[in-house]
Chains A and B, each alone.
Chain A
Amino acid sequence: MKSITAGPESPLAQKCRFRPELFRALCWLAAVLTIALLAFILGEILYKAWPAIHRYGLGFITGIQWSPNREVFGVLPVLIGTAASSLLALIVALPLGLSMAIFLSEDFLPASIRHATRFVLELLAAIPSVVYGLWGIFVVVPLVQDYGGAFSQWWLQKTGTLIPVYGNSLLTASLVLALMVLPTITAISRNALVAVPPTLREGSYALGATRWETVFGVILPTASPSIVASAILAFGRAMGETMAVAMLIGNSQRLSWSLLAPSNTLSALLANQFAEADGIQVSALMYAAALLVVMTLGVNVLGEAVLRHTQRSIVGLQ
């Protein structure tokens, strides 16, 4: 058989001959650089934190006094503040986000309105953190002061103990954080609900279930691992949030059980104190930064793992 022969190669074709290998090499380089960058950041932080790790050890994590002028550093109240504010934000945002996701995945309203709502929700994610902080100062702080004051008065009459009320408190920061992580939870949950195979839904209807029985009995349980993953990712996002929290949380290093008392988070501590720190305080702040990075990375890795595992389990259903 006569093979088809091309004419002499054009210059362009000659250049394209090496493209696939070049492209592959570039992709490998990009992947390696990304991982190397993460390793470099972690390594640099740990290197700078080493003097503090060596000097304070695990007492840093359990200490409750942060006094740079006395070189006493302990971040327990700050760790608790970080965990508490993120957890509270999640508790507020999860039911709200889930309801919105259900609303956006069912056909209660025409598709155009659903698309518009999704777009507006994504706009919420685009608002800068400092704008949330400013809004929080003017709107949420007075609200917390008023309602918190009323609650404190009622509690005083009922039990006789006075709870001091601060506008800039853990509660304020948590409420604004909830608003900031809402788009994350809603977007991922909505995707999870929509990804449930239509065969499950039709099967449920065929067995005589109502819409709500289907949603709560079939769709939600099927999508629940992804929803859990979205909650974990939102938790990771809330832990790293800096500007809005620094403006709203009151920045106090004291351990307090009250939601209406000021608190502090690792990111707010770093943002506030880094510029003027010198000597061992820089190392101590780097130690705190290392803790924050480890916590956030751990939470994100967990969320990603759960998400990947659940995608595999849904694929098998189709």
Chain B
Amino acid sequence: MKRTILAAVGLSVSISLHIQAAVAINGSGATFPAPLYMRWASDFKKSTPGVTVNYQGIGSGAGVKQFIDGITDFGASDVAMKDEEILQAQQNVVMIPATAGSIVLAYNLPGIQSGLKLTRAAYIGILLGDIKTWNDAIIAKANPGVNLPNIPITVVARADGSGTTAAFTGHCAEVSSEFSAKIGAGKSVTWPVGLAGKGNDGVTALIKSTQGAIGYIEYSFAANNKLTIADLQNQAGNFIAPSIQSAATTLSAVRLPANLRAFILDPKGANDYPIVTFTWLLMKKNYIDSAKVAALKSFVAYGLTKGQALAPQLGYVPLPADVVTMAQASLATVN
């Protein structure tokens, strides 16, 4: 009896060990691209059985920390890595843009459709708390013919630190010196007015439940939850509606440096949507485990080619062709 139990245990252990001989790659980081990466992982597993890619969306900062500490094989960050962090990782870092997204201002105004035009003065004034009601003259001037109600504006921001806040405040600080002085840019800032919610989903929920609310969220969240979104004025003075196309237009004019890290704070094109950001995958230049490197490289290569086609349906912006070429060249340096 004891011998049969022992044999059964030995058999199951050897079977599970055999299954674990397949390659498992672990990554963690930003929550914004998490749905896309997980979709890539599941599709990649179907095409390449034996390779499992696990991704956890725990936040850009935590993802970078885990990557530097060697806990994960790759990281993901909406704000790439700072120079100090690259030094901490002993320069053994390759940053590869994987996809991009745009940040929109979504609002909850009964009877008002998508496409409310907000000038720079308007949205900066709203965020600073200078414009307190929706029928303020500054907003009304750009929207003749729209019946703006006389309800107070409730600004909804992010309570947690995030790459979305970093990108959004980076843009606002670039276009307004008053914003830069009073609030500044960063992953976590203090807002002079309004509420805050946790995560893009928290902010979305608050906007949906509060009349007169306006908040900044990623485009995919606004689209999936059918929120009304504003047309923002870009540097050229045109009001651009957020969409995959307008974000792609912005990206097409970007020239990335050698390390592929660039933040588009205030694009100059006539049809550029003003707030678009890349999000990066972080990999080491030199890995020790060669089996993992091959699997990881083929996963990222999959993401840069077939994976880009999946991006629009999930609400992400596909990378322009020249960025893909540069990314693939960078990927080739990983070994």
Contact = CB atoms under 8 A, between A and B. Distances in A.
B23 interface: no
Interface string B146-173: 0000001010000111100000010000
Nearest to B64: A278
B61 A277 contact: yes
B60 to A, nearest CB: 7
A167 B209 contact: yes
Main SS of the interface on chain B? loop
Contacts of B154: 166
Contacts of B191: 252
Contacts of B189: 67-69
Interface size for chain A: under 10, 10 to 19, 20 to 34, or 35 or more residues?
A: 20 to 34
B301 interface: no
A68 B186 contact: yes
A273 interface: yes
B62 interface: yes
A276 B195 contact: no
B318 interface: no
A272 B198 contact: yes
Nearest to B132: A164
Given A262-B195, A276-B161, 20 more contacts: A67-B189, A67-B190, A68-B187, A68-B188, A69-B189, A70-B184, A142-B209, A145-B210, A168-B210, A251-B197, A252-B196, A253-B190, A262-B196, A272-B159, A272-B196, A273-B160, A275-B161, A276-B60, A278-B61, A281-B188
9 contacts: A65-B190, A69-B188, A137-B209, A168-B195, A251-B159, A251-B197, A252-B191, A262-B195, A275-B61
Given A272-B159, A273-B160, A276-B59, A69 B196 contact: no
A217 B169 CA distance: 62
Interface string A146-167: 0000000000000000001011
A275 B188 contact: no
Interface residues of B, number: 33
Q: Closest 5 CB pairs between A and B? A: A69-B186, A276-B161, A251-B159, A251-B196, A276-B61
A271 to B, nearest CB: 8
A48 interface: no
Interface in B236-290: none
B186 to A, nearest CB: 2
Contacts, number: 87
A180 interface: no
Contacts of B169: 69
A164 B193 CA distance: 11
Contacts of A271: 198
A246 interface: yes
Contacts of B137: none
A268 B192 CA distance: 19
A111 B184 CA distance: 64
Interface in B184-231: 184-192, 194-198, 202, 205-206, 209-210
Contacts of A70: 184, 186
Interface string A51-88: 00000000000000111111000000000000000000
Contact of A276 (B152, B160, B197, B209): B160
A70 B192 CA distance: 15
Given A168-B206, A252-B194, A276 B185 contact: no
Residue picked from A250, A268, A272, A276, most chain B C-beta under 10 Å: A276
A67 B189 CA distance: 5
Nearest to A65: B190
A276 B198 CA distance: 12
B328 to A, nearest CB: 30
B292 interface: no
B59 A69 contact: no
